Amino acid sequence: MSLVKIKDAPTVWNYLNGVVNVYKPAGLTVQQVRHTIIGNLCRDLNQLKVRPPLQRIAIESGSNSKYLVRRKEDLSDNVLVVGPRYQTEDIRMRMSANHGRLTSGVLVVGINQGLSMAYRIQQNRPLRVYRVTAFLGKATETHFGDSRVIGRATVEHIGSEKINRLLASLQASHQKKMFELCGVDMQSQAAYDLAVKGTIRPADKSQPMIYGIRLVEFRRPFFTIEMHAINETEAYIGNLVHEIGLNLKSVAHCVGIRCIRHGHFELKDALLRKDWNLQCFLNSMAQTNQLLKQHPEMTQQVNSELVDLEDNDSSNLGSHQEQSEKE
């Protein structure tokens, strides 16, 4: 079956409804990403064949005292008068995560009729995975590298083993906090029943929760951690890096945050900035529809458990550990 190339803008507009996975660059706000995408979509739609101007009825005097009724082009509907057919106000867009300006990586975007689906993904709070790079030895005002340095400390006493022990302790404290938020005792049968069901979400959407954190690279004074969390913000991650530096008897600040996965949306499928055009967005919507059909729990959660994510995370962690041991 041969593919037919569609050049009609109204037909393409009818298919411009769904969810796409884009790569947000660092240094851009979510609003700037939104304006760029909408501008590119309007540009590409207006380059296609748009509808002709409307017709108006004109009554003109003719010969023998008769009137002629003709149909003429309505100049008030001409693109030279009213502007391009597709304006930025015509396209609706919603983000499923409110990444900060310094955060890059996976960003799930709903367009037009895909707004409700993007909202359901956001409300279900799927697990997000980050790679956070930090710098040891310097403390800044905002805990990020673009602000003024306010403190310095030595880093020669810090090694990868010390960081691993600290991150393991941090993960254990957050796991204990999950059961406290659920109102159950760690030594009770209810806690065991919750644990065997899988990873659970806190009822408070404003409560950040870390489900897994580990060291993936250490090159003094830089180190990179992988973090699995929900309800997190850019400010919270910067604060976390600052506390890690203090617990290591030093100081640290964050120099990079990259979201490598949002639920089942992965980094390898994210559209780069050069691909923010109409054709790539339509292709991405088709792939996303297949992904959501395979994993309906992303939009229709029936309980507070994180479905099909913990197993993948544990297998990935195991493969990384095996690889590190071999090296």
* Residue 321: predicted pLDDT: 42
Residue 274 in tokens: 């050069």
* Residue 51: predicted pLDDT: 87
Helix 234-247 to helix 160-182 angle (10° resolution) is 130
Residue with more model confidence, 48 or 305? 48
Residue of 64, 21, 44 whose CA lies nearest to 268: 21
- The mean pLDDT value for 117-135 works out to 92
* Residue 123: predicted pLDDT: 87
Mean pLDDT check: name the lowest of 21-30, 86-95, 206-215, 250-259.
206-215
* Residue 2: predicted pLDDT: 45
* Residue 194: predicted pLDDT: 72
Yes or no: say if 239 and 193 are a contact pair by the CB < 8 Å rule: no
Give the range with max mean pLDDT: 57-71, 124-138, 307-321. Answer: 124-138
* Residue 72: predicted pLDDT: 84
What share of the chain has pLDDT > 90, as a percent? 60
Yes or no: say if 188 and 200 are a contact pair by the CB < 8 Å rule: no
Cα end-to-end span (Å), the chain: 49
Three-point CA angle 129, 170, 225, nearest 5°: 40
Residue with more model confidence, 296 or 5? 296
Is omega for the bond preceding 221 within 30 degrees of 0, making it cis? yes
Chain centre distance of CA 222: 25
* Residue 206: predicted pLDDT: 79
Residue 98 has pLDDT above 60, yes or no: yes
What share of the chain has pLDDT > 70, as a percent? 87
Mean pLDDT check: name the lowest of 180-194, 201-215, 235-249.
180-194
CA–CA separation, 236 vs 94, rounded Å? Answer: 23
Instruction: Give the pLDDT band (50/70/90) at residue 133.
Output: very high
**Bridge-partner residues for 107, per DSSP?**
22
Helix 278-294 to helix 30-47 angle (10° resolution) is 120
* Residue 305: predicted pLDDT: 61
- The mean pLDDT value for 309-325 works out to 44
CATH number of 128-262: 3.30.2350.10
Consecutive H or E run containing 131: strand 128-136
Which residue is it, tokens 């580990």? 214
- The mean pLDDT value for 233-241 works out to 95
* Residue 198: predicted pLDDT: 65
Q: Name the segment(s) of the chain with CATH classification 3.30.2350.10.
A: 128-262
Residue 250 in tokens: 């030093």
* Residue 297: predicted pLDDT: 82
Three-point CA angle 295, 297, 303, nearest 5°: 155
Average pLDDT along the chain? 86
Residue 322: what are its φ and ψ, rounded to 5°? -65, -40
DSSP 173: H
Residue 179 has pLDDT above 90, yes or no: no
CA–CA separation, 275 vs 287, rounded Å? Answer: 15
Residue with more model confidence, 326 or 253? 253
